[in-house]
Amino acid sequence: LSFFFFFKFRTMGNSTHLTHFILSAYFDTGHLKYLYFVIVLLLYVLMLVSNVLLIVVICVNRSLHEPMYLFLCSLFVNELFGSTGIFPSLLIHILTDIHTVSASLCFLQIDCIYSYVIVEYLTLAVMSYDRYFAICHPLQYNTHMTRNRIFMIVIVPWFYGFLVCTVMISVTSSLHLCGRIINRVYCVHYSVVKLACSDTTAVNIYLLSFGFIIVSAPSFLILYLYMRILKVCFSGSKQTRHKAVSTCTPHLASLINFIFGCCFEIITSRFNMNHVPNILRIFLSLYFLIIQPLFNPLMYGLNISNIRICCRKLLFNRIKQNRTGYNVITQVVQ
């Protein structure tokens, strides 16, 4: 599937009559580039370890095979997908002096990042729906959230995200581009469209229409569901309020953090930010790709007791087995 998409985007890149783009936001840091490389590498490794750990914990423990944890697993997989779309190329460009990217890989990166954004937001909206039923209709929760329904709810954000981005890239690839300089550290769709010297009306209409649907529909759903949750909390018992706070706090924190990250990206790409220091401007544009994949495992891992307990058991059992094996080998040698 990866080779298919690479070949597809390579064909699209050739249709723009450009073989590569120049990422001009990188600046000369001298020997500090090695420090930046180490920092970014550590962040990437931390993202991989934390998200993979929670995915393994959810998959291995049957007690966590419930709708909420399956949605979290989908969220963690998406974090890995989004961070992998930017960090390998970011690490390469930090060490190299020539900051170019082929047209095919540029379009592939755009598809990866925008798919990540759509899947992330839709998954967070789906999780609010799950929390609504768990708090407001606890008796009907198990009968309503069947296995087939959970499977569909998990798959739809992924399918919709890839579909929207594939159509977006297909429309963009038909444009005739007259420039190759992108003033970012990674490929952004809006920056590529600005390079077009042909009519961009179709692309703009597509972006506005689908952007409005992707943002407005989940936003209205989240607001409506949380209004219902608040209504039940105010009229319910103390136990109901405690359950709502403990289960909704990580979700709301993740949602607010992601929205702030997307707002930072929009501000840095649409407005003149020359008065802002380069390193801060780059960090703000990467906020939703750096902080969100680190924030979610930390927030859910620390606040949800079942995940925290299962993580502790998995890690300590592994350490205990290693110590036991070492002691046995030592006794045999003696």
pLDDT, one tens digit for every residue, the chain (334 residues): 444 444 444 444 444 467 788 888 888 777 888 898 999 999 999 999 989 988 988 888 887 788 888 999 999 999 999 998 899 999 989 888 778 888 888 888 998 999 999 999 999 999 999 888 888 888 888 888 888 888 888 999 999 888 888 888 888 877 888 888 888 889 888 888 888 887 777 778 877 887 788 888 889 999 999 998 888 877 777 777 777 777 788 888 999 999 999 888 888 887 777 787 888 888 888 898 999 999 998 888 766 666 767 767 766 665 555 555 444 444 434 4
User: CA geometry: angle at 286 spanning 264 and 301, to 5°?
Assistant: 100
Contacts of 265 (CB under 8 A, 6+ apart): 284, 285, 287, 288
Report pLDDT for 241: 76
**Residue 237 in tokens:** 């018992």
For residue 63, what pLDDT is reported? Answer: 77
Q: What is the pTM of this model?
A: 0.85
At 318 the pLDDT is: 55
Radius of gyration (C-alpha) of the chain in whole angstroms: 23
Residue with the two structure tokens 């008065």: 275
pLDDT at res. 314: 66
Contact 178, 196 (CB under 8 A): yes
User: Could you give the domains of the chain?
Assistant: 2-324 (1.20.1070.10)
User: Residue with structure tokens 């002096």?
Assistant: 97
Residues with Cβ within 8 Å of residue 78, at least 6 apart in sequence: 116, 119, 120, 123, 158
Coil vs helix vs strand at 85? coil
Q: How far is CA 207 from the centre of its chain?
A: 20
Q: Report yes or no: 111 and 9 within 8 Å, Cβ to Cβ.
A: yes
Concatenating the DSSP letter of every residue in 259-272 gives: HHHHHHHHHHHHS-
**C-alpha to C-alpha distance for 80 and 234, rounded to whole angstroms:** 38
